């Protein structure tokens, strides 16, 4: 069989490049960071992304994440916890991650603050907003935001940086626009985590600073 002499670019590296190109097309102010969402994917897949220059990874399930964090340690990675948080998991989350996007109640913020190891920098926290007011989804309702934010003044070991949302895919345009308005009301916050594989351009046009991309980097999940 005839072999091609040029080694093809590994699929994940090529996907990453395509996603980064999509981001660059709309990220005119150059302030968007790509988080590779690697839930359900093996460490070998993440290593391919690392070899292609990726540093930020997002994980949803703690146990699975801890295994990969251990296997991939020593490579200067930045880990983002983006899944639902049970209070008995806060200790390991705050010990192993730099960012938590899915804080949706004060009790969880308090625990992350109290359990953050002293030798680590402040944990960066985003409030997850239930932007479409969907009963099945977690997140803070728009009307609750101001009250919740007040509590963060008491926390020494975590830093509230902004918001995260997972809009209903049927109306992400309107939801992202609502998030942009909320950000305007909080000029002291600098981070907005929104946009997934199918809507990253819309999210960036509405001010996203983190986009969370899984499928278009690692392929479909089982």
Ligand X SMILES: *Cc1c(COP(=O)(O)O)cnc(C)c1O
Question: Would you tell me which residues interact with ligand X (CB under 6 A)?
Answer: 37, 39, 60, 82, 166, 196-197, 212-216
Phi, psi of 129 (to 5 degrees): -105, 130
> Which residue, 101 or 178, is less far from ligand X as judged by CB?
101
> Which residue, 166 or 183, is less far from ligand X as judged by CB?
166
38: left (phi over 0), alpha (psi -120 to 50) or beta: alpha
> Which residue, 60 or 159, is less far from ligand X as judged by CB?
60
* Residue number with the smallest Cβ distance to ligand X: 214
Hunting for tokens 């801890």 — which residue is that?
66
Closest approach of ligand X to the CB of residue 220, in Å: 8
Closest approach of ligand X to the CB of residue 198, in Å: 6
Phi, psi of 191 (to 5 degrees): -130, 130
Pairwise CA distance, residues 196 & 208, whole Å: 11
> Which residue, 139 or 207, is less far from ligand X as judged by CB?
139
> Which residue, 39 or 151, is less far from ligand X as judged by CB?
39
- Residue 78, classified by CB atoms within 10 Å of its CB into exposed (0-12), middle (13-18) or buried (19+), is middle
Pairwise CA distance, residues 131 & 104, whole Å: 12
- Contact in structure between 77 and 97 (CB atoms under 8 Å): no
Closest approach of ligand X to the CB of residue 19, in Å: 9
């Amino acid at each position: 069989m005839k072999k091609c002499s040029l080694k093809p670019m590994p699929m994940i590296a090529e996907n990453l490049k395509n996603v980064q190109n999509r981001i660059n097309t709309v990220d005119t102010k150059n302030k968007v960071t790509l988080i590779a969402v690697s839930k359900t994917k093996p460490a070998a897949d993440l290593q391919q992304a690392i070899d292609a220059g990726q540093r930020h990874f997002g994980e949803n399930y703690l146990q699975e994440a801890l295994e990969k964090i251990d296997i991939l340690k020593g490579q200067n990675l930045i880990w983002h916890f983006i899944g639902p948080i049970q209070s008995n998991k806060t200790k390991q989350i705050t010990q192993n991650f730099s960012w938590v996007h899915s804080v949706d109640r004060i009790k969880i913020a308090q625990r992350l603050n109290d359990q953050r190891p002293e030798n680590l920098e402040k944990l960066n926290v985003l409030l997850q907003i239930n932007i479409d007011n969907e009963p099945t989804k977690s997140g803070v309702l728009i009307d609750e935001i101001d009250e919740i934010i007040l509590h963060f003044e008491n926390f020494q070991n975590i830093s509230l940086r902004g918001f995260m949302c997972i809009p209903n895919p049927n109306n992400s345009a309107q939801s992202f626009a609502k998030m942009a308005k909320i950000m305007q009301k909080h000029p002291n916050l600098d981070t907005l985590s929104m946009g997934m594989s199918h809507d990253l351009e819309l999210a960036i046009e509405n001010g996203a600073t983190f986009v969370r991309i899984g499928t278009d980097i690692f392929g479909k999940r089982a």
